[in-house]
Structure 1
Amino acid sequence: MGIADQTLVKKINQKLILNEILKNSPISRAKLSEVTGLNKSTISSQVSTLIQENFIFEIGEGQSSGGRRPVMLVFNKNAGYSIGIDIGVDYINGVLTDLEGNIVLDKFQNSLNFSSDNIKDSLFKIIKDFIDCMPQSPYGLVGIGISVPGLVDREQRIVFMPNLKWNIPDLKVLIQDAFNVPVFVENEANAGAYGEKVFGSTKHFNNIIYVSINVGIGIGIIINNELYRGINGFSGEMGHMTIDFNGLKCSCGNRGCWELYASEKALLNSLQKNEKQLSFEEIDELVHQNDVEVLNSLQNFGFYIGIGLTSILNTFDAQAIVLRNSIVESNPIVLKSIKNAVSSRISTQIDNNYELVPSSLGKNAAALGTSSIVIEHFLDIVTT
């Protein structure tokens, strides 16, 4: 075997060992040999390398099954840090995480008037604040992930954002040049789906659909544990599937689009009082007061969400659908209305064979998703 082949084999073995430690930490060298099938000398050599490179460390002795007590190994989650930022239509939400995705610091900023200039200034300030607060570590900042509510192509260029007025197609290059770390740009629903798959309550499922309900509606699709982006990177634009052929005119040029009836914007418009939209806090307060108009609007909101979800379930036959929306997450009446609408329309073969759940990560889903993409890339390149 040539030197190049030997190096490749060593890297493959190192990646295999690190992945096992990530999944099953704390773990002994003997157990690593057993689960990977690698011999003890290979395990010993690779573990030594990973310790020297600050990716793992020993934490003392574990339980013995006979003979000497084994020394346990754990992943060094503080070897580096990642930044994940979710840019919404009217907000920026950012997280600084360790290499296991634990949030070290988070920042949220509301804004109703993003322009190309102030979005750049806001982003740079949040990133600089995170870097200033980042603990010392062997690898420092390993990358930055950004999610946006629009079309992102396979080169991570922002192609189109229907609900935002700013235009920075090369956001990836702009941030990469400024901070000199790898940068990843992803569609918001895709990032949220990835976050839920890696860190959320559906991480044990292989096939999930993540539905992001904001000003518009987007979906992220996980098939066989992989994020499905489509040929051009534009999959998941199901907010523009038709649910009423003679319906309202949409900005996309179609009529009767799902998001015209089931988006957060549609709900807030239906609850407009004296030309003033209600806030989420006001809606919650009116729900507690059993306000009939608000309760009916919420049930109607759930009904229309359920109409679209029925088509999605019939198309993808997913194990779980995750709903990301603050109103759905805080008002059980909406989730009940959604489930009733789906159950009354879905085939008996599919009904009861899937889970329909609110997001377990809430507003941090997309930011954590982009952070996890950064972490995965970092761990991949250091073992290849």
Structure 2
Amino acid sequence: MAKPTGDPALIKQINTSIVLECILQYAPLSRAAIAQKTGLNKATVSSLVQDLIDRQLVLEVGAGASSGGRKPVMLMFNSRAGFAIGIDVGVNYLRSILTDLDGTMLQQLHHPVIDCRHDAVITAISECIDQFKQQAPDSPYGIIGIGVGVPGIVNEEGTVVFAPNMGWSQVELKHALEKLYQLPVMIDNEANAGALGEHIYGAGRPYRDQIYVSAGIGIGTGIVLHNKLYKGSSGFSGELGHLSIQFDGRSCSCGNQGCWELYASEHALLEAGAAYGYHDIHAMLQAAEQNKPHMRELFHDIGTYLGIGIANIANIFNPEAVIIGNRMSLAAEWIRPAIEQAVSQRTLRFHHKRLLIQFAELGEQSAVRGAAYYAIEAFWTEVKSGH
């Protein structure tokens, strides 16, 4: 009986994936270096690299250093083979970017959201996409996909099941955008996108276990454990903004009482600031810089409430770092001392000992960068699978 053999097409697909992953991770490097790192023989590497060059996914970028003999030809992946679009949908803003396949931001748009009904928001999203499609440079693969972060619960089909601060329920956002553009569309919770953005491009790069706190109009959290987004059994994890921190507290739009986001979000800050005639976070930051004591106190109170929630997170997850992003990261200077004080007082010392509290390196762009990365990651997955 003949011995079973591997399907040659499948073997080629697996080896192509190995070679491409090596180039993505270590470039610039030579064919010989790829063979050394992967254990594949040089002839196989040469053939697979040529195939990737022919598909315009890999470029030869000149000669490298030689240890004797002919200088090796160095390889890079072609970051301009295509472009990704990232969208961050906020309750009161819409941020969108165009990036290359390296995640480098090439263009960005930012619009206030006046009407947050889903039809109006989808129209605003499509206007951004249309503009990027017109402006994107020529490339072999064009726009390779669209990633969208939304402030709500998203299921595996890309439907926004519930976004209380937007008034959305069962909005089939992925289906709507794919129908409009015939492109791959990835939809996720905005805080997950922010966690991914910081993990890949920002302050979260050094950490395997981290929690990203998206403090905007509401509060969401993205959980990265062992370098992977933790999504929970149904994909709905991270709704820590709806942890109860006041057992008999105010009613929340989610149906709960005393939710963390009612006391520690940008919305909570704006509600408190309205009593002093402030209706914009930038005006409130300016007042704090002018040493107006009532505004310093408001930021201190918000920082304390943020710290209370972060202490709960630290006691549950024991992360290496908690990264605070979205709009409240603009107030880092004024809220950090209160956050650190509350965390120090309320976190078990075993958890607090090595906990780092940081603010998002990408500022307000964590989620939109992460959203674009969803599209990039999906493209490379398709390429590695032989499509």
TM-score tier by shorter-chain length is: over 0.9
Matched, 1:312 2:313: yes
Residue 287 of structure 2 aligns with an amino acid whose one-letter code is: L
Q: Residue 269 of structure 2 is aligned with which of 262, 267, 277?
A: 267
How far 1:292 sits from its partner (Å)? 0.7
Alpha-carbon distance between aligned partners in 1 of 2:290 and 2:141, rounded to the nearest angstrom:
53
| Structure 2 counterpart of 1:147 | 149
Q: Residue 115 of structure 1 is aligned with which of 107, 110, 117?
A: 117
| Structure 2 counterpart of 1:229 | 231
Larger mean CA deviation between 148-157 and 127-136 belongs to 148-157
Q: Give the conservation status (yes or no) of the 8 Å contact 1:195–1:366.
A: yes
Residue 350 of structure 1 aligns with an amino acid whose one-letter code is: H
How far 1:282 sits from its partner (Å)? 1.2
Q: Residue 256 of structure 1 is aligned with which of 255, 258, 263?
A: 258
Deviations 1:68-108 (A, max 9, x none): 21111011000001111011101110011100110111100
Alpha-carbon distance between aligned partners in 2 of 1:318 and 1:116, rounded to the nearest angstrom:
35
| Structure 1 counterpart of 2:299 | 298
Residue 361 of structure 1 aligns with an amino acid whose one-letter code is: L
User: TM-score, normalized by length of structure 1?
Assistant: 0.96
Q: How does 1:268-283 map to 2 (within 5 A)?
A: 268-273=270-275, 276-283=277-284
1:350 aligned counterpart, secondary structure: helix
| Structure 1 counterpart of 2:66 | 64
2:95 aligned counterpart, secondary structure: strand
How far 1:280 sits from its partner (Å)? 1.9
Matched, 1:77 2:79: yes
How far 1:192 sits from its partner (Å)? 0.8
2:346 aligned counterpart, secondary structure: coil
1:107 aligned counterpart, secondary structure: strand
Q: Give the conservation status (yes or no) of the 8 Å contact 1:329–1:358.
A: no
How far 1:297 sits from its partner (Å)? 0.9
Q: How does 1:345-364 map to 2 (within 5 A)?
A: 345-364=346-365
Q: Give the conservation status (yes or no) of the 8 Å contact 1:150–1:158.
A: yes
| Structure 1 counterpart of 2:7 | 5
| Structure 2 counterpart of 1:332 | 333
Residue 355 of structure 1 aligns with an amino acid whose one-letter code is: L
Structure 1 unaligned segments of length 5 or more: list them.
none
Q: Give the conservation status (yes or no) of the 8 Å contact 1:151–1:187.
A: yes
Deviations 1:4-42 (A, max 9, x none): 622111111111111111111111111111111111111
**Pair 1:61–1:145, CA change in 2 (3 A):** same
How far 1:325 sits from its partner (Å)? 3.3
2:258 aligned counterpart, secondary structure: coil
**Pair 1:180–1:186, CA change in 2 (3 A):** same
Alpha-carbon distance between aligned partners in 1 of 2:171 and 2:234, rounded to the nearest angstrom:
15
Larger mean CA deviation between 111-120 and 86-95 belongs to 111-120
2:84 aligned counterpart, secondary structure: strand
Q: Give the conservation status (yes or no) of the 8 Å contact 2:151–2:189.
A: yes
Alpha-carbon distance between aligned partners in 2 of 1:153 and 1:326, rounded to the nearest angstrom:
25
1:210 aligned counterpart, secondary structure: strand
How far 1:167 sits from its partner (Å)? 5.3
| Structure 2 counterpart of 1:34 | 36
Alpha-carbon distance between aligned partners in 2 of 1:97 and 1:36, rounded to the nearest angstrom:
29
Larger mean CA deviation between 91-100 and 198-207 belongs to 198-207
Alpha-carbon distance between aligned partners in 2 of 1:90 and 1:298, rounded to the nearest angstrom:
21
| Structure 2 counterpart of 1:86 | 88
2:157 aligned counterpart, secondary structure: coil
| Structure 2 counterpart of 1:365 | 366
The aligned length equals 383
Alpha-carbon distance between aligned partners in 2 of 1:251 and 1:280, rounded to the nearest angstrom:
22
1:271 aligned counterpart, secondary structure: helix
1:78 aligned counterpart, secondary structure: coil
Alpha-carbon distance between aligned partners in 1 of 2:338 and 2:119, rounded to the nearest angstrom:
42
| Structure 2 counterpart of 1:217 | 219
Deviations 1:49-77 (A, max 9, x none): 11111111111111112222111101100
Matched, 1:379 2:380: yes
Matched, 1:196 2:198: yes
1:94 aligned counterpart, secondary structure: strand
Q: Give the conservation status (yes or no) of the 8 Å contact 1:247–1:255.
A: yes
Deviations 1:128-185 (A, max 9, x none): 0000000000011111111111110122211011011355611111111111111111
Alpha-carbon distance between aligned partners in 2 of 1:326 and 1:119, rounded to the nearest angstrom:
20
Alpha-carbon distance between aligned partners in 2 of 1:92 and 1:254, rounded to the nearest angstrom:
27
Alpha-carbon distance between aligned partners in 1 of 2:329 and 2:370, rounded to the nearest angstrom:
20
Residue 335 of structure 1 aligns with an amino acid whose one-letter code is: R
Alpha-carbon distance between aligned partners in 1 of 2:117 and 2:335, rounded to the nearest angstrom:
34
Structure 2 unaligned segments of length 5 or more: list them.
none
1:278 aligned counterpart, secondary structure: coil
How far 1:251 sits from its partner (Å)? 2.5
Q: Give the conservation status (yes or no) of the 8 Å contact 2:307–2:342.
A: yes
Alpha-carbon distance between aligned partners in 2 of 1:117 and 1:157, rounded to the nearest angstrom:
14
How far 1:3 sits from its partner (Å)? 8.2
The CA RMSD measured in Å over matched residues stands at: 1.6
Larger mean CA deviation between 50-59 and 61-70 belongs to 61-70
Residue 188 of structure 1 aligns with an amino acid whose one-letter code is: E
Q: How does 1:230-245 map to 2 (within 5 A)?
A: 230-245=232-247
1:281 aligned counterpart, secondary structure: helix
Identical pairs, percent: 39
Q: Give the conservation status (yes or no) of the 8 Å contact 1:193–1:209.
A: yes
How far 1:2 sits from its partner (Å)? 7.2
